[in-house]
Structure 1
Amino acid sequence: MPDADAAASLTQDLFADLSATNRSTREGAEDALVALGVEAVDHVLPYVREGRPAGLGDAEGVLRRLGAVAKGRLREIRRRVPGRLRRKALVALAALGGGEGIEGADLRALERLVRIRLLEEGAVRLPAEAGRWLAFPADRFDDAVSALGLHDLRPATTVTGAAAATGFPDRVEVPNSADSRRSTAYRVFVTPELTSRRRTLPIRNWRLLWGNSFIDELSGFTLADRLSRECGEAHFYSADPYNQAECWYVSRAGRLVRSYGTYADPQFAGEPLHFEVAYRNNAATPREAAEYADGCPYASTAARNLSVQCDFVPDIRTQGHGWLANTHPEVPTFRFSGALPV
């Protein structure tokens, strides 16, 4: 067998061992691949996954450990090597270092692709399973950006934005040059303007903000209050099927108006809203009347009656495009790692 074929076969065996159930086997395989140095790049590159975050024990993990050696070879492949490995190399560079690892011509090509996709984007489908989001009036977009301290806003498709804010790394630690402390930059996605066709809503045009780490660590309740002080009204919604937990929170002028939380004590706060009273009074069965006796216990139902429900539904139309942004003035949005779908 030629040396090249033998090396490829050996690398394939080592890569297979990365998925072994035995931990020492996995670690030994990764160490052996890393020990090959730049030679390993070409062999593991075909196994790079597209459109999904990198996991442990995979091609991206090997390339990450190779560091600058891998990036140099990947850039060379982009410039000189024909065929399908060029696309994989671009995906790998994005996974290793976001846009910072990608050369200018490729960045410009990606920006053109985003513009084309935005022109083609129709009805959007939002990841309701991701579980938590904020809503604010669409015409107060600039106020929302200011209230949340968002920076480096870049047009993005909903597919890109939803993945960036819910499925890929959405935070980076930023060292402070003045001392040893570090701050955190969070990546978020603000949806296109979503307009409900339901004329009964006081506000029919909304934008939603996604960003799992941002909402979790700064508190969706606090962020909704901050947004509503600048935008008049804002909501926080959370649905966690795994823990059978629902939460919704309405804030106006910086104050709680109404909220529900499965594990809150008490579960409801504030006076019942008009739609809750209607659900209780118009219940079709005694069971439904009991279910809504104290108010609405479902985040998606509250969202449908107060702003817009997550995921695509026929009574919502979109206008404009979404935005990727982050919360640190010194961190460009493309610094976050991950080869995002477009």
Structure 2
Amino acid sequence: MPDSIESLVRDLTSDDRAVRTAAQDALVALGPVAVEHVLPLLDDRRASGGDSEGIAFFRRASHSTVPHLQEIRRRGPGSLRRPALRALLEVGGEDGLDSRDRQVIERLVRIKLLSEKQDRVTLPRETRWLAFPADELEGAVGALGLHDLRPATSVMGVAATTVAKDSIETEAPDGRRVDAFRVFITPEFKGWRLVYGDSFLDAVGGPELAEKISERCGEGHFYNIDTYHNANVWWIARKGRVVRGHSTYADSEWVGDPLPFELTYIEADADDPFLDPDLVERYSEGVTDPDMVALKLSVEPGRMRPAAMRGHGWLATTHPAVPNRLFQGALPI
């Protein structure tokens, strides 16, 4: 390896951010020449927990590195074939893969889906999600305007919609710039399916989407647990309208009348020595905790038991011209 490239690659792991940035700028300028030297760094995570310097390099170098990465996938060296596949996914998503590599990924997903039925699936709870009756999958897909549904493991779907970049700007038929989003629909758990998609829920609005789902499916829920801002939000929509909701910092904290399960908490006896007075006061108008509401009315995310799971999850997008294969990033399977 030329000394100049060797020195630059070594600088990518420096503790000094300015040194790392300068090295990355120089390597990006070199383009394909640096590919084989940077590939081994793909799994070196930054101390802050962010992407590795190797991933950052390939995202910046972008399509100039694709032909060389594809050549490594075909001819080796063998030790670099796996990181080359990941780099291709980071640069251009599955659209940058040849047909053989796409088939490899599809086969691996099918195999993992079989084993997922024997393993505990973990669904995140400190985020936002929708819920709808599991037997109304087709109605929910129509209500949310989803396209390009493809089978996905839960770890893959959650990463795609809560960790990886889950939006792409594209052009509408009338020339306007619009955002397309990626969405994950979970397997069925206790008669319900959940929908994850941080950017989609933020852009369109969770309560609005819950109402849309309820128009087609009879019922739709939105839950949001924001521990950073100490905020709790939940909305229950039935037959096209919100019947009950809570939002910690809204001008009107409560919407609708208390649901039957809330009455137990509202009517708690403040003089009962076995009850925490602070909790009695907290629930005096209704239940504020989204996870408690989900537990009572649909399904609470967390570590889900295999016995409670049916079917598999689906990745989808919100725009017909933006299929899943265009989203950048290597996903865990």
TM-score under structure 1 length normalisation: 0.89
Question: What is the letter of the counterpart of residue 131 of structure 2?
Answer: A
Distance in 2 (CA, whole Å) between partners of 1:274 and 1:66 is: 57
Gaps of 5+ in 2: none
5 Å matches for 1:73-92?
Answer: 73-92=68-87
Residues 51 and 339 in structure 1, CA contact (< 8 A), matched pair in contact too: no
Aligned twin of 2:33:
39
Distance in 2 (CA, whole Å) between partners of 1:250 and 1:316 is: 27
The yes-or-no answer on 1:124 pairing with 2:121 is yes
The yes-or-no answer on 1:15 pairing with 2:9 is no
**What SS does structure 2 have at the residue aligned with 1:128?**
coil
The yes-or-no answer on 1:319 pairing with 2:314 is no
Cα offset, 1:78, TM superposition: 0.4
Cα offset, 1:5, TM superposition: 6.3
The yes-or-no answer on 1:174 pairing with 2:164 is no
Cα offset, 1:21, TM superposition: 3.2
Aligned residues: 324
Distance in 2 (CA, whole Å) between partners of 1:341 and 1:313 is: 19
Cα offset, 1:10, TM superposition: 1.4
Aligned twin of 1:137:
133
Cα offset, 1:314, TM superposition: 5.5
* Offset from partner CA, 1:171-222 (integer Å, 9 cap, x none): 001134663x212110000000111xxxxxxxxx110000000000100011
Residues 5 and 34 in structure 2, CA contact (< 8 A), matched pair in contact too: no
Cα offset, 1:65, TM superposition: 3.0
* Identical pairs, percent: 45
* Offset from partner CA, 1:126-183 (integer Å, 9 cap, x none): 0113x1000011111000001111000000000000000100000001134663x212
The yes-or-no answer on 1:70 pairing with 2:48 is no
The yes-or-no answer on 1:237 pairing with 2:223 is yes
Cα offset, 1:9, TM superposition: 2.9
Distance in 2 (CA, whole Å) between partners of 1:91 and 1:281 is: 56
The yes-or-no answer on 1:220 pairing with 2:220 is no
Evaluate the alpha carbon distance shift between residue 316 and residue 119 of structure 1 in structure 2; reply closer, same or farther with a 3 A threshold. closer
**What SS does structure 2 have at the residue aligned with 1:84?**
helix
Residues 167 and 199 in structure 2, CA contact (< 8 A), matched pair in contact too: yes
Cα offset, 1:29, TM superposition: 1.6
Aligned twin of 1:148:
144
Cα offset, 1:118, TM superposition: 0.3
* Offset from partner CA, 1:83-133 (integer Å, 9 cap, x none): 23110000110111110011110100110000000000033110113x100
Q: 1:163 pairs with 159, 166, 182, which one? A: 159
* Offset from partner CA, 1:198-248 (integer Å, 9 cap, x none): xxxxxxx11000000000010001101111111111000000001000010
Distance in 2 (CA, whole Å) between partners of 1:51 and 1:124 is: 25
Aligned twin of 2:248:
262
**What SS does structure 2 have at the residue aligned with 1:165?**
helix
Give the aligned CA root-mean-square deviation in angstroms.
2.2
Question: What is the letter of the counterpart of residue 265 of structure 1?
Answer: D
TM-score under structure 2 length normalisation: 0.91
Q: 1:308 pairs with 272, 281, 299, which one? A: 299
The yes-or-no answer on 1:29 pairing with 2:36 is no
Distance in 2 (CA, whole Å) between partners of 1:212 and 1:34 is: 31
Gaps of 5+ in 1: 196-204
* Offset from partner CA, 1:274-311 (integer Å, 9 cap, x none): 11112334564151322221100101111101100011
Aligned twin of 2:327:
336
Distance in 2 (CA, whole Å) between partners of 1:168 and 1:315 is: 26
Residues 11 and 43 in structure 1, CA contact (< 8 A), matched pair in contact too: no
Cα offset, 1:47, TM superposition: 0.9
Distance in 1 (CA, whole Å) between partners of 2:306 and 2:251 is: 34
Residues 5 and 27 in structure 2, CA contact (< 8 A), matched pair in contact too: no
Evaluate the alpha carbon distance shift between residue 314 and residue 333 of structure 1 in structure 2; reply closer, same or farther with a 3 A threshold. closer
